[in-house]
Structure 1
Amino acid sequence: MLKIDNVSLKYGAFTALNRVSLRADQGELIVLLGANGAGKSTLFLAISGVHPIAEGKILYQGEDIAKWKSPRIVKEGLVHCPEGRKLFPGMSVYKNLQLGGYVHKKDKKGVEEQIEEVFELFPILKEKQHQMAGSLSGGQQQMVAIGRALVSRPKVLLLDEPSLGLAPLVVKQMFEVIQRINAQGTTVLLAEQNAYSALKICHRAYVMERGNVILEGDKESLLHNEDIKKAYLGA
């Protein structure tokens, strides 16, 4: 469904991604592990059409989308939920969710139905739909960010560090929701530093370091990999 084929990306003389290759098949939940600066967010920005790549292919449903503009990418069902949430804090929860449906604005009924589905997934957001997004807790703001992405109708959802800065109980709830989204048929590519929680729910994972993919495998092989344990699981 999504295949990254030898993608490189440069900022001037600096190589941020070095011939990265990975894939996410229909219905999979794929995890990208790596420390800050490993290239996870840069890869998501490349897939989303924000940063142009220097070489390689980004294949989505068999078509190279490397030169597509971001609105087209979103409209075709490849949706990015960025690190840091990027909400509009002075706008209501409802208005933030509505913005997720911007590329489908001609289908007002469909957007409203998607928002109702978000409220079913996150009931607290229905209660707080008229509050300013900036007044919510960190966990609730992350729910809004994920909800906004879901209103865009993703076939593939790129989630960048959704657990960052959240309390352990909220992290547990967040990963349960991500698993539920995946179980409903959405392919998920999840970038995370919370390696243990992420590996527990994924099908396969890739480990990135300094813009390179250095390791890949299914969750069992990576959970029992000694190098992964030492680097990410505190063993």
Structure 2
Amino acid sequence: MKNQFVVIGLGRFGQSVTKTLIENENDVLAIDKDEQIVQEIAPQVTHAVQIDATDETALEQLGLHKFSHAIVGIGEDLQASILTTLMLKELNIAEITAKARDDHHGKVLSKIGADNIVFPERDMGDRLGNLLSSNNLIDYLELSSEYNMAEIRAPKAMDGCTLQKLNINKTYGCIIMAIKDENEEVNISPHIEDQIHQGDILTIIGKHKDIRRLQKDYREKSRPK
């Protein structure tokens, strides 16, 4: 049986979530108050409905209690975001994920029942800032408030070293989860005797400050003497 999702608010964030859910073969009910947006997305989703999500009666008539997960993509209209989240909670939807504009907005959403809070604008800004700050950083993802995952291109100072020699876990508290070589072959959970070569793409998990420290140290080690 497919998972059933309802996405409310079809701005850039809501449409992106909807598209990914559909690509992963989930049933999606897409809701927005803008009729044109609803008409445009209707061919791509299971169902699309044009209503004002702050209309409690309209929400109840949709039978949303049958859905396993609701995503509130309303960000700019704080009142609509909060009211919609509150009404979804009262409809006993199992899990609610809500988009927040800032920390204050996120705290309110959490207090009224949202199970997951996402900050797409802030997270994208953090990610872009990290990517622009390092020549070796390919991608960066926040896993939690404390831990991050980074894809880093192995610098010259790592060339020919084994994981045991680098000892990144002990020195930086980070874990190398995978190594992708120049032939696009991926070594998942590499052994301590496996070698790293310059240009390999390393998937690393660790605290933000530790990943930054690792990058800084190896950037300095790789500079011409």
Q: Which TM-score band (shorter chain)? A: under 0.3
TM-score normalized by structure 2? Answer: 0.22
TM-score normalized by structure 1? Answer: 0.21
**RCO (CA 8 Å, sep 6+): is it higher in 1 or 2?**
1
Larger radius of gyration: 2
